[in-house]
Structure 1
Amino acid sequence: MKKICVITGSRAEYGLFYPLLKLLSMERGVKLQIVATSMHMSQKFGLTYRAIEADGFKISAKIKFPLPDDCGTPVSIGRAIAAIAPVLEKLKPDVVVLLGDRFETFAAATAAYALKIPVAHLHGGEITAGVFDEAFRHSVTKMSSLHFTSTEEYRRRVIQLGESPGSVYNVGAIGLDNVRRAEFFSREELGAQLGVTLSENLACITFHPAMFEMAAPAAQLKELFKALDRFPDLQVVFTLPNADRGAAELIKAMHTYVKKNSARASAFTSLGQKRYLSLLNLSKIVIGNSSSGIIEAPSLETPTVNIGTRQEGRTRPASVIDCPAETNAIARAIKLGLSPFFAVKLRKPNPYGDGLTAPRIARILLRKAGRLGVKKSFFDLKYGKA
């Protein structure tokens, strides 16, 4: 029996993992271990571990620790490592599966590596120059034995970091599996679930702290608010930011904006995968600095206004409009994204794949689990080709 442990820290991340979890749960030779932690265990973020259980999965362990806005990122990482390590010692998985670049992902990789437990990492090799996550992601790559990248460019970058080409697989972005298989809510159905009437002129907005920007996150968000004020007929739905340092100030500002613009604005802490994708599908435009605007929205032919440097370095689909966090620039980008002229760019292929990522990952995990180790040789590009 192969023990595969998947660690998830947020409802959004769980939504990405869902198609892989479903496949692994149906394998007779696999004991699937799910560890819920970080935002899943926070009352402030909706105790979203319950969504995992509602989908019929058994959670092997629930781990709570203070989040960055409670105690600072360094302390949160240290507490997370200390909390995750004994759980992994008890579960003794053959491989730990992690996704992305957040602080809790880094903490889980550190704990697993120190315990000599192999790590399989999704979405390595990417660049997001505007946040701490950039360094966390590459650090997780170096602690991982198996790599699943979302594009060929990212596969080459993981190899550039010294990873053996035989351990690095370009499988596409797993979020597109959800888009491919989605049965979207209608405008009326989604509106009823959210308790709002959704118009045809709808914008989905997700704005996270970008700590390496010159301007403070709250100042950037104020620029976005002023740009939105120039589009009074645009209904805006905010999906609130994650647990990064500085998020609490942004959440407070969003709630204040919604209160002042209650006729056309609303905000939600956690929508879940189906409701979020339905919102993207129904929206005329996506605005903010979330990776979903770059990876998932293009497959739904929804234009994205990407603000600031948080996603700087990611491969850009044709449907993404980049702009600085400045009122006039944001307003120009929104106007362009809503124009009929821009619609032709929405039909171009998404460079992040075809929505068949989870089966590819599952096949490789089933073949490799139990045969992986943590000791690796550095692959030097001087001595071979990727």
Structure 2
Amino acid sequence: MKTILLVAGTRPEIIKTAPVVLEAQKRSDVKVVYCLTGQHKTMAMEALSIFGVQPDDDLQIMRPNQTLNMICESVFAKLPPVIERIKPDVVMVQGDTTTAAMTALCAFNMKVPVAHIEAGLRTFNMDAPYPEECNRRLVGVVAKYNLCPTTLALDYLRREGVPENTLYLTGNTAVDALRFIQEKHNLDQLEQILPDVKTPYVLITAHRRESFGGGFQNICTAIRESALRYPGVQFIYPVHLNPNVKGPVHEILGSIVNVKLIPPIPYLEMLTLIKHCEFVLSDSGGIQEEAPSFGKHCIVMREVTERMESVTLGMSELVGTDTAKIINAVRRTIEGKNKYDTGKNPYGDGHASEKILDILQDHTSTR
């Protein structure tokens, strides 16, 4: 039997790795040991409960006011004993967190093959997103199994000279997760989430550190001007608790009648809002995958994105934090001038988890 040690801790990591765990449970010749890092404990447990997945281990690395280097230190101190005890055939990580990068390096140092879910995403800018661009490049260097979500991601790794025999095209497990959720959970209880919701509405998510300061002022000003221009459209914004976000958002948008500012919400409620919105204004990475999965246009308020596939197809539009560009994109979308085909999801067919396990079962040797 093949043993996979899967290390994850943030809510996005759990959402994108849970489908692999569920698929492994259907198979008799592979076992996934799920190790939490202990970050974002409340959100992690919420995400696990959506899929009915229970962790097998917990590194409990979270410390007050910890820095990126403290996270690195904790992974190097706490993960090796787990690897020694489990003796996995492969260590699996997802995405581009600091814990993913340090887990991959730790496994590499211990001569254990690394599998990287969502390999090959690139902006080619080390500062945007920071530190994620560096983290995913580090994992790509040591990974024996680069599990690429799209042909573009695979091509990026080819251009970087990553060995061809480490490259695999799988699709994105986010699509698997959404398929599972829509089968198991009701995403149509909009009024129960927000009793005073008004349709049509635009959903907003914005919280990236690269935009703090002037960029965030621009974003909020664009939302304000758009809301005033279209009083019949509600703008719903779950506001991140970070003072760099909360401060300017409430200062600039708090008095606008058709802007509804709400606290952060659970993942299933966020998906419900995405499913029923007109379109999305976001600087999030994950929503750039989720919006096309629901056939929703996404205006991306970032200077660069590692998810160009939906931009190329017109499902998303990259506008940065320029106030005028955001306002114009909102205007075109509300007035129906953005035309795109929602029939094909560029991020996969919902069967990435099966492909990933097939690859690992076919190519890994049992220790």
Cα shift at 1:252:
5.4
Q: Secondary structure at the match of 2:147?
A: strand
Q: Secondary structure at 2:116's aligned position in 1?
A: strand
Instruction: Give unpaired runs (5+ residues) of structure 1.
Output: 373-386
Normalising by structure 2, report the TM-score. Answer: 0.85
Equivalent residue for 1:34? 34
CA contact (8 A) 1:127 1:134 kept: yes
Q: How does 1:226-237 map to 2 (within 5 A)?
A: 226-230=221-225, 231-232=227-228, 233=231, 234-237=233-236
Q: Distance in 1 between matches of 2:342 and 2:53?
A: 36
Q: Does 1:147 align with 2:146?
A: yes
Q: 1:81 aligns with which of 76, 79, 86?
A: 76
- One-letter amino acid of the counterpart of residue 336, structure 1: R
Equivalent of 1:113, from 108, 112, 128?
Answer: 108
SS at match of 1:294: helix
Give the alignment partner of residue 327 of structure 2, picking from 316, 328, 331: 331
Alignment partners' CA distance in 2, 1:103 and 1:301 = 31
Conserved 8 A contact 2:35-2:55: yes
Whichever residue aligns with residue 62 of structure 1, its letter is D
Match of 2:118 in 1: 123
Distance 1:363-1:264 versus aligned 2 partners, 3 A rule: same
* 2:55 aligns with one of 55, 59, 77: 59
Q: Distance in 2 between matches of 1:53 and 1:351?
A: 28
Aligned-pair CA distance for 1:124: 1.5
Q: Deviations over 1:305-330 (max 9, x none)?
A: 11122526733231211113122221
Pairwise CA RMSD:
2.8
Q: Offset of 1:115 from its aligned partner?
A: 1.8
The residue that corresponds to 1:99 in the other structure is 94
The answer to whether structure 1 residue 366 and structure 2 residue 361 are counterparts is yes
2 CA distance for matches of 1:249 and 1:89?
42
1:25 lines up with 2:25 in the alignment: yes
Contact 1:318 1:348 in 2 (8 A): no
Aligned to 2:274: 280
5+ residue gaps, structure 2, are none
Contact 2:237 2:259 in 1 (8 A): no
Percent identity, aligned pairs only, is 20
Structure 1 pair 221–366 and aligned structure 2 pair: CA distance change class (3 A): same
**2:291 corresponds to:** 297
- What is the CA-CA distance between 1:106 and the residue it aligns to? 1.0
CA contact (8 A) 2:304 2:318 kept: no
Distance 1:170 1:240 in 2: 36
Equivalenced residue count is 355
Instruction: Name the amino acid aligned to 1:3.
Output: T
- Tell me what 2:316 maps to: 320
Secondary structure, in 3 states, of the residue corresponding to 1:286?
strand
Q: CA deviation at 1:144?
A: 0.8
1:59 is matched by which residue type in structure 2? P
Letter in 1 for 2:264: T
Secondary structure of 1:269's match? Answer: coil
* 2:203 maps to 1:209: no
Residue aligning to 2:137: 138
Question: Aligned AA for 1:131?
Answer: P
For 1:357, the equivalent position in structure 2 comes to: 352
Instruction: Tell me if 1:156 matches 2:152.
Output: no
Query: Shift in Å at residue 353 of structure 1?
Result: 2.4
Letter paired with 2:140? T
Q: Distance in 1 between matches of 2:8 and 2:209?
A: 22
